[in-house]
Amino acid sequence: MEGTGSRSGNPSSVVADWSLVFWTLCAVILPVLITLWCSFQRSRRQVLIRDIFRKSKHDWHYTDLFGQPSYCCVCAQHILQGAFCNCCGLRVSEGCLKKADQRFLCKEIMMRSNGGAQSSMPHHWIRGNVPLCSCCMICKQQCGTQPKLCDYRCVWCQCTVHDECMMDCLKTEECTFGEFRDLIIPPYYLSTINQMRKDKRSNYENVVPYCRKHWMPIIILANTRSGNNMGETLLGEFKILLNPVQVFDLSNITPAKALQLCTLLPCNAVRVLVCGGDGTVGWVLDAIDEMKIKGQERYIPQVAILPLGTGNDLSNTLGWGAGYAGEVPVEQILRNVMEADGIKLDRWKVQVTNKGYYNLRKPKVFTMNNYFSIGPDALMALNFHSHREKTPSLFSSRIINKAVYFFYGTKDCLVQECKDLNKKVELELDGERIELPSLEGIIVLNIGYWGGGCRLWEGMGDEPYPLARHDDGLLEVVGVHGSFHCAQIQVKLANPVRLGQAHTVRLILKSSKMPMQVDGEPWAQGPCTVTITHKTHALMLYHSGEQTDDEASSVSEQDHVREQTDEDV
């Protein structure tokens, strides 16, 4: 007993116990305090950075890892993370951001007026971080080879020059705007136009480079939410090469407002590059139709497409490819737009009138560029859109989107929700009633491609048929026996049921509710009358680049059919 009491009352034992408690608390509380302090400092830095971003004339963006070796433009130190300007290309560490924002000017979209009209401007040089494989404009040797902040790049003409080759004359030399001078809207042009508008003068033809022979200014309209979410990256790359005023993010501004820039540019010379899916292209073409209504027909631009969506059938038809994933440099895309040929695209009015004795609702009216359908493919699109609205975060990849389409197509092969369609609808082509065989779907085509790259009207290509065009005022109408039949057509193992070509299509849904779609926008429709008539033409750009094997075989088959027809005649 005495031994026990002495141990419990031993001062050294009590001190050891309290020491253990103290260090245990330190081991628990100290990391928590350090974490809270670091979190506070990080949030404070983020608030300061956001404040600089908000007030700055630079288009700053923060990155955790630069895609190539980078050096701070202020302290010249190698940096892995920091801020970069999407317009002029400056790169800076987090600590030097405020100094860089005050020290360096960004690209000026409009020059400051000096009291008179200007027709030229000097180079705007930025030191360091020049593009890989760039050559000096003086000695023609490679730039940016040393592992430090070195050499200069002009933010307008993209010319590069070594530190040792930089001369005083280059700092004041007139900038030619480089390879894409015919696409760029110079800052001095906009300042002159702005002054003329203040003076209420409209003779823009006398303004340089308005009178330049081959000037075809371009406007970039990018949908950052399309398909594989590449729009954000493309916006930055186009701002580097062009005047930032030419580049628009359609998540921040509507096409109708963006296209008003055309009214300050040469008549019938502007080209628009739409970066997005077929839905985005339709949105832009609707805005162009509004320009016609406002009496701005002479400012109507020609439209090219950079396909970022899932299907991209219109883009494929016009030679711009089935999808873009960054495999082609932005510079080559601009060259393709410069070289593209102008063509016309038929646009169609789709009017859906509900049936019923007491139907007081106005008919639903759509504009069709690609196709209209009723049946299994519309059902797949309806299920896809319903799923995407519930969980939009899952649909950030073109591959995932197509996998979901495949899943719903396989499901419809087993369920066959659209069977006996021929008993539920009546079809008229140019006023003539068409007797329908046993079908599950009817598709009305304006363009050559359908369903993400399938040439539906041609099918296997083993039968003579009138050629399908997107500018002849004719629609191609085909039927399908189901989802499995659609899959067979896509791999060229079957032909569609060709029902004919017509200038006007009328479809009557007599009973039940069926899925319908116009250009990938689906809905469930009850008894109604669908009437498709020609609406207008759109001015598009056709890229006659490299043909795919599918396109080449289709063209050769069509030529073979024409030769056989000529021999028979």
- Three-state helix/strand/coil letters over 45-89: HHHHHHHHHHHCCCCEEEECCCCCCEECCCCCCEECCEEEECCCC
351 and 326 in one domain?
A: no
Q: Total structural domains in the chain?
A: 2
277 and 218 in one domain?
A: yes
289 and 380 in one domain?
A: no
pLDDT per residue over 461-476, tens digit each?
Answer: 777 777 788 999 999 9
In whole angstroms, what is the distance from residue 483 CA to residue 450 CA? Answer: 14
pLDDT per residue over 150-174, tens digit each?
Answer: 999 999 999 999 999 988 778 778 8
pLDDT of residue 568: 43
pLDDT of residue 502: 94
Q: Choose the final residue of a domain: 278, 310, 339.
A: 339
Lowest mean pLDDT among 80-84, 331-335, 392-396: 392-396
**Residue 111 forms part of a structural domain:** no
335 and 228 in one domain?
A: yes
pLDDT of residue 564: 44
Region 545-565 average pLDDT: 46
**Residue 454 forms part of a structural domain:** yes
pLDDT per residue over 39-55, tens digit each?
Answer: 877 777 777 888 888 88
Lowest mean pLDDT among 235-239, 309-313, 534-538: 309-313
273 and 402 in one domain?
A: no
Q: Choose the final residue of a domain: 301, 319, 339.
A: 339
**Residue 547 forms part of a structural domain:** no
* Full domain range(s) for residue 494: 347-536
- Could you tell me the pLDDT band of residue 567, with boundaries at 50, 70 and 90? very low
> Which amino acid, 459?
G
Region 254-263 average pLDDT: 94
pLDDT of residue 560: 45
**Residue 368 forms part of a structural domain:** yes
pLDDT of residue 395: 57
Q: Using the predicted structure, report yes or no on whether residue 102 has a pLDDT greater than 80.
A: yes
- Could you tell me the pLDDT band of residue 207, with boundaries at 50, 70 and 90? confident
525 and 418 in one domain?
A: yes
Q: Choose the final residue of a domain: 308, 323, 339.
A: 339
Sign of the torsion formed by the C-alpha atoms of 453, 457, 460 and 462: negative
Region 428-441 average pLDDT: 92
**Residue 265 forms part of a structural domain:** yes
In whole angstroms, what is the distance from residue 160 CA to residue 150 CA? Answer: 11
Region 102-120 average pLDDT: 77
435 and 306 in one domain?
A: no
**Residue 312 forms part of a structural domain:** yes
CA triple 337-339-340, angle to 5 deg: 65
512 and 408 in one domain?
A: yes
Q: Using the predicted structure, report yes or no on whether residue 434 has a pLDDT greater than 60.
A: yes
pLDDT per residue over 498-511, tens digit each?
Answer: 999 999 999 999 88
192/392: higher pLDDT: 192
pLDDT of residue 172: 78
318 and 357 in one domain?
A: no
pLDDT of residue 385: 66
pLDDT of residue 555: 43
521 and 394 in one domain?
A: yes
In whole angstroms, what is the distance from residue 412 CA to residue 414 CA? Answer: 5
Tell me what percent of the residues of the chain surpass a pLDDT of 70.
85
Place of tokens 């019938």: 268
**Model pTM?**
0.84
399 and 460 in one domain?
A: yes
pLDDT of residue 556: 45
422 and 525 in one domain?
A: yes
**Residue 382 forms part of a structural domain:** yes
**Residue 196 forms part of a structural domain:** yes
Q: Using the predicted structure, report yes or no on whether residue 5 has a pLDDT greater than 60.
A: no
pLDDT per residue over 336-364, tens digit each?
Answer: 999 999 999 999 999 999 887 566 678 89
143/231: higher pLDDT: 143
